[in-house]
Amino acid sequence: MEIKVDKQEVFTDYVWSFMMPDHEHWKKEIENIVLVEKNKAIHNFSTENFQDRPVRAHKTAWDSFARYPAVFNIIEIIAATITKSIEQEGWEAPKLSPMDGWINWFDKNQWAQEHEHNCLLSAVYYVSSEHSPSNFFFHRNDRFRLRKKNEDANIKLVKPKEGSVIFFTGCQTHSVSPNTSDQTRITLAANYMGEYVKNWNPYDGEK
């Protein structure tokens, strides 16, 4: 006896992107921070995080948004843009609060392995990447999903432009390709918690 099996799609993940306003200004601000961090022997100052981590590159402390005003201002602009975008799409917009915000700088052959951020939303701002090829990969998390035979179907490639910001749900697994150039690639990353201030009713409209 043959059993007929039906299937239907129930959820879809998204990645959003936009161009950072006043990019050249913020690029200069972040490059100056990286310059100080890279010359820690001269300045006798560094916030570099040396913990074992999936980003196999240099990075500032997780709480850099509380240490550097430029980082704080950038993640506030990103949060405001995310909120406006979500509202325009007709979704319920949560009140976003930064969990952390930091700067990554990738020298030659440095990269980021597969990982997720375990938050409501994550954002990555491509500060300086025009001369350092960068591929951003999203991976199907197959720990709790059926795996497709076609491996390509489990990986999606995104090629962000310099000055762009991408944001996505924090549970999405992602990685970054190695920097194959001699130029330093700089990104800024942020994670956000979200609080829905309204009482959520899954049966909206029903009494």
Q: Could you report the average pLDDT of every consecutive run of 10 residues in the chain (207 residues)?
A: 88 90 98 94 86 86 96 98 94 92 95 92 96 87 71 82 95 93 96 81 56
Radius of gyration of the chain (CA): 19
User: Is 167:123 a contact under the CB 8 Å cutoff?
Assistant: yes
pLDDT score at 13: 83
Task: Give CA 101 to chain center in angstroms.
Answer: 10
Domain locations along the chain: 17-195
Tell whether pTM > 0.95: no
Tell me if residue 23 falls in helix, strand or coil: helix
pLDDT score at 206: 54
CA distance 106 to 176: 10
Q: What is the CATH number of domain 17-195?
A: 2.60.120.620
- In angstroms, the Cα distances linking 129 to 6, 83, 182 are 45, 26, 11
